Chain A
Amino acid sequence: MKLELRGITKSFGGLVANDHIDLVVQPGEIRALLGENGAGKTTLMNVLYGLVQPDEGEVLLDDEPVAIHSPRDAIRARIGMVHQHFMLVPVFTVAENVTLGSERVRGLATPAMNLGGLRIPPLGLPSFGLLDRRQARRDVLELSERFGLRIDPDALVEDLPVGVQQRVEIIKALLRDASVLVLDEPTAVLTPGETQDLFRIMRELRDGGRSIIFISHKLKEVQAIADTITVIRRGKVVGDRPPATSDAELAALMVGRSVQLRVSKEPAVPADVVLDVQDLNVEGERGEHSVRGLTFQVRAGEILGVAGVQGNGQTELCEALMGLRPSTGSVHLDGADLSHASTRTRLRAGIGYVPEDRSEDGLVGEFSVADNLILDVFDRPPYASGIALNLAAIRESATRRVQEYDVRTTSVLTPAGTLSGGNQQKVVVAREMGRDVKLLLVSQPTRGLDVGSIEFVHKRLVAQRDAGAAVLIVSSELDEIYALADRIAVMYEGRIVAFCPPTISEQELGLLMAGGGAAGSADASPEDGSQTPAQEPEQS
């Protein structure tokens, strides 16, 4: 089906998310929407899917205008969407999730009977909406076979890895016979190998005549899969480009200025071991082991990057290191045993912690910027004497640090929740780097940030390393790992399957992230500190 968006405009408050966007997608085309975080891609697609009502503009399918006021209308118009945050009910089975909203029901029927020669035919009764679970299961199996998306219809979604959950989402759209399929940042949760699988499926669907819109902020991916790339910046379409366009040109279009793709940093000068983790085990939410037997060290003046697909134990690792989650094994910081210490003690001992979920764990949205800047030091001088808070000192230090870290806010009393993602992250970073830290534990430091903020945060992290701190970065963005890490640890299913140098090729790294290279990691690069976990910690 040919899809056309004409003059779509949508603003939230004072912010124009979409500014007269025009877009035409032909049947059998894969169109990439490339743009920074916050450029308005998702808003545009939510307009298409009826989740957001545009202020202006219209949607046309095969040159006919269609009114899309809700997802119901979108589904009826055969538009399907795989959302960035999966729209799956965790406690439902795959089959229930896939069929939800277009469930099959079965009628009750009495069996045929033969009463002494009197034959009573089966009597159909109204269905009362009773679910036909067997049919639902068959539907899922049939679709999963047809498109090579292997899946167990009876598995609970919450038990499935994210990559599989995505397959469920795709099947969901296919069950509704979508002829326009929108995929919003689908590769964020996939290994490079799984990404290739996804691309194969996308091509198959395209060749079957479907139109596909692929939303991404990753240059290489859009170059690999798209037939045409549409670049969006600050709510406006800034141009269409063929996939052969160079990285630099696309990046410049996307950001609006030429971008330095790599942070410039000097080679690391690792000194003494700061963080020493031995045989760390963590139990997950449902009693399974989500971190298994981790042993590693981080030295002063080096950045260890933990690479891996989201959901392989990285979150649990960070929380265990901070004492937020019970674990076994030992954790030493500068020789001090922190294995059983509370979060507070760990923070006091000199760990700076930038949590993965900024708005949930890193900040209190309704607190002022000033209060957020003392969230973990509020009871220490000069901010407190006894149990009394020193409001003047709190405000004075906040004003200073807001300037130092270039936090764009009208006042230090503004609620932090109203700042942009980048500025929120700057507040967190300013807080954690604002005191003497021996170890900086940073999880997904630039998730959802614009390029400017990413550059800022990256520079600060490198600066901390150069000032002699040990830095542990967990990121599912390979580009970030390559940009920052002096050494890479790859996590897969709760284990570190390999340590490798940042010179490792993306292909090899992808293989390791998929668990494929655990045995072969030795050939990643024998010198330069890349070891299998068994041999790891003995460079001194």
Chain B
Amino acid sequence: MTALAAPVRVPITVNRRYLAAGTFIALGLIDICVFGFFAHRGDAVFALSLPGARPHLPAIRVPGAWTSFVLGAISIGLGVVRLVMDVPRWAKRLTIAGALLCFLLSLLSWTDAGNSVGPLQVIDLLQGTLTASIPLVLGALAGCMCERSGVINIAIEGQLLFGAFTAAAVASATGGVWLGLVAGSLAGGLLGALLAIFAIMFLVDQIILGVVLNVIALGLTNYLYDRVMVPYANTFNAGNTFGTIKIPVLSNIPVIGPVFFDSNIFLYITYALILVIQIGLFRTRWGLRVRAVGEHPVAADTVGIRVLWTRYRNVILGGIIAGIGGAYLTAGSVGFFTSDISSGFGYIALAAMIFGRWTPLGSVAAALLFGFSYQLQTELSSLRVPVSSFILLMAPYVATIIAVAGLVGRVRPPAADGKPYVKA
């Protein structure tokens, strides 16, 4: 056992500074050359209020091509700044956010310029982004909980799926959506407990374990779906869902209100969990100990922290959180369970967590990005934009590959992540 974890030796063949700058400039050139020059004639219209909402904000109208030119120039400017200056870390993040925002805005103005179907519904887009992100955020938070304590959780997908199934079945059978939510989260927790037992007690490789648990969860839910839910749909898959809760006052704020404060309970649970986990991990005694266990379990043990117990607890809590995310997929949105309803959200959540460098807030940012591109694809197909939806669906995955390879290629996971702790 080495005392200080040896840093991962990764051959750096690409200079990251140039890589970031190059990426920004490339994005800027796409803004200008693709979205700018190939812009349709006419203005892009962004509607900022839903039809009939009060107070009603006027829609914003911008010329399509010029918007892209300006945004592209900004992006290139940011690239040049990164190239010539060594900026502090917060500024680096700001430039990344800026370049991405420019790219997205210019994409949007390109899609809507001269579009006859109507203005781009910004509220719809943002609302959709947020709701599409809920399972991703919760999955990524589950990942943070597990991996910060040193257990790799690839089983997020299975936890979402099992949570979704159980929530739908229980909500339907009992007629109580709250019971469904609780049951769904417990189902996720159960899978978390399995992960914990096999990883911590039986020392099974955690990546293998996660994949296998996903296989089992998929097989089990498919089996029970065919065997129980389909023949007895009225009893076990009636499609009960939560109602919408409007937060008084806040929900009346233009733009912000409908986007952030007019949703069902899952969005508010998500807010709470983000806050609790972020503060919990980095500001509290509990978090310090969890991180110590994930970084250097032997050191944690020698100061009297119960390493295995900490890991069990975190993995199970993580499972419960992912289970809530699963419950959202059924009881929180469509109501019905269908085969493989999680359709890879768990894997995207995993990517979001890594993208977000194992921090809750970072994961949330990444999950929102994925949610946005997913929602954008839906919006664009309703605007009949001539881009294959498959290409758009591909985008977040390509972006993740680029991100993992380039912009955040050298992320540092918790040092003991995935390594079982065995006492002499």
- Please report the C-alpha to C-alpha distance between residue A374 and residue B299 in the assembled complex, in whole angstroms: 37
- Please report the C-alpha to C-alpha distance between residue A75 and residue B301 in the assembled complex, in whole angstroms: 11
Q: Which of B23-31, B302-310, B376-384 contacts A (4 or more CB under 8 A)?
A: B302-310
- Please report the C-alpha to C-alpha distance between residue A360 and residue B6 in the assembled complex, in whole angstroms: 11
B5, B285, B300: most-surrounded residue (chain A CB, <10 A) = B285
| In the complex, chain A residues whose CB is within 8 Å of the CB of B303 | 71, 75, 87, 100-102, 172
Given A86-B4, A90-B4, A158-B4, A51 contacting B301 (CB threshold 8 A): yes
Question: Which chain A residue has the least Cβ–Cβ distance from B7?
Answer: A285
Contact call A101/B283, Cβ cutoff below 8 A: no
Given A46-B424, A85-B3, A103 contacting B288 (CB threshold 8 A): yes
Contact call B295/A89, Cβ cutoff below 8 A: yes
| In the complex, chain B residues whose CB is within 8 Å of the CB of A131 | 283-285, 288
- Please report the C-alpha to C-alpha distance between residue A100 and residue B423 in the assembled complex, in whole angstroms: 20
Given A51-B424, A52-B424, A90-B295, A70 contacting B304 (CB threshold 8 A): yes
Distance of A518 from chain B, by nearest CB (Å): 28
- Please report the C-alpha to C-alpha distance between residue A357 and residue B6 in the assembled complex, in whole angstroms: 11
Contact call A92/B4, Cβ cutoff below 8 A: no
A96 beta carbon closer than 8 Å to chain B: yes
| In the complex, chain B residues whose CB is within 8 Å of the CB of A357 | 2
A-B contact count (CB 8 A): 96
A332 beta carbon closer than 8 Å to chain B: no
| In the complex, chain A residues whose CB is within 8 Å of the CB of B292 | 89, 92, 100
Contact call B3/A87, Cβ cutoff below 8 A: yes
Q: Which of B134-149 contact A (CB under 8 A)?
A: none
- Please report the C-alpha to C-alpha distance between residue A360 and residue B288 in the assembled complex, in whole angstroms: 30
Question: Which chain A residue has the least Cβ–Cβ distance from B414?
Answer: A91
* Residue interface bits A99-133, CB-to-B below 8 A is 1, else 0: 01111010000000000000000000000111100
A72, A81, A88, A89: most-surrounded residue (chain B CB, <10 A) = A89
B1 beta carbon closer than 8 Å to chain A: yes
A81, A87, A96: most-surrounded residue (chain B CB, <10 A) = A87
Contact call B302/A51, Cβ cutoff below 8 A: yes
B232 beta carbon closer than 8 Å to chain A: no
Contact call B304/A89, Cβ cutoff below 8 A: no
A46, A70, A71, A97: most-surrounded residue (chain B CB, <10 A) = A71
B213 beta carbon closer than 8 Å to chain A: no
Contact call A88/B296, Cβ cutoff below 8 A: yes
A214 beta carbon closer than 8 Å to chain B: no
Number of interface residues of B (CB under 8 A): 29
Question: Which chain B residue has the least Cβ–Cβ distance from A43?
Answer: B424
B311 beta carbon closer than 8 Å to chain A: no
| In the complex, chain B residues whose CB is within 8 Å of the CB of A90 | 4-5, 295-296, 415
- Please report the C-alpha to C-alpha distance between residue A361 and residue B285 in the assembled complex, in whole angstroms: 37
| In the complex, chain A residues whose CB is within 8 Å of the CB of B357 | none
Question: Which chain B residue has the least Cβ–Cβ distance from A99?
Answer: B288
Distance of A232 from chain B, by nearest CB (Å): 18
A83 beta carbon closer than 8 Å to chain B: yes
Distance of A297 from chain B, by nearest CB (Å): 29
| In the complex, chain A residues whose CB is within 8 Å of the CB of B6 | 360
| In the complex, chain B residues whose CB is within 8 Å of the CB of A296 | none
A499 beta carbon closer than 8 Å to chain B: no
Number of interface residues of A (CB under 8 A): 36
Contact call B423/A51, Cβ cutoff below 8 A: yes
| In the complex, chain B residues whose CB is within 8 Å of the CB of A383 | none
Distance of A210 from chain B, by nearest CB (Å): 19
Distance of A78 from chain B, by nearest CB (Å): 13
Given A51-B423, A90-B296, A129 contacting B284 (CB threshold 8 A): yes
Distance of A130 from chain B, by nearest CB (Å): 6
A49 beta carbon closer than 8 Å to chain B: yes
Given A105-B285, A128-B284, A285-B7, A85 contacting B301 (CB threshold 8 A): no
B6, B284, B301, B303: most-surrounded residue (chain A CB, <10 A) = B303
- Please report the C-alpha to C-alpha distance between residue A118 and residue B421 in the assembled complex, in whole angstroms: 57
Distance of B105 from chain A, by nearest CB (Å): 35
- Please report the C-alpha to C-alpha distance between residue A67 and residue B424 in the assembled complex, in whole angstroms: 18
Distance of A366 from chain B, by nearest CB (Å): 15
B223 beta carbon closer than 8 Å to chain A: no
| In the complex, chain B residues whose CB is within 8 Å of the CB of A128 | 284
* Residue interface bits B53-97, CB-to-A below 8 A is 1, else 0: 000000000000000000000000000000000000000000000
* Residue interface bits B284-300, CB-to-A below 8 A is 1, else 0: 11101101100110111
Distance of B297 from chain A, by nearest CB (Å): 10
Contact call A71/B304, Cβ cutoff below 8 A: yes
Contact call A101/B305, Cβ cutoff below 8 A: yes
Question: Which chain B residue has the least Cβ–Cβ distance from A84?
Answer: B3
Given A70-B304, A75-B304, A101-B305, A130 contacting B284 (CB threshold 8 A): yes
* Residue interface bits B4-27, CB-to-A below 8 A is 1, else 0: 111100000000000000000000
- Please report the C-alpha to C-alpha distance between residue A83 and residue B424 in the assembled complex, in whole angstroms: 15
- Please report the C-alpha to C-alpha distance between residue A390 and residue B424 in the assembled complex, in whole angstroms: 40
- Please report the C-alpha to C-alpha distance between residue A85 and residue B296 in the assembled complex, in whole angstroms: 12
Contact call B302/A91, Cβ cutoff below 8 A: no
Distance of B28 from chain A, by nearest CB (Å): 28
Distance of A182 from chain B, by nearest CB (Å): 11
Name the one of A85, A100, A101 contacting B2, with C-beta atoms under 8 angstroms.
A85
- Please report the C-alpha to C-alpha distance between residue A358 and residue B4 in the assembled complex, in whole angstroms: 16
Contact call B300/A101, Cβ cutoff below 8 A: yes
Q: Closest 6 interchain pairs by CB?
A: A85-B3, A101-B303, A72-B304, A87-B299, A129-B285, A129-B284
Q: List 16 A-B contacts (CB under 8 A).
A: A72-B306, A85-B1, A85-B3, A86-B3, A86-B4, A87-B298, A88-B3, A88-B299, A90-B296, A91-B415, A92-B288, A97-B299, A101-B304, A105-B285, A131-B284, A131-B288
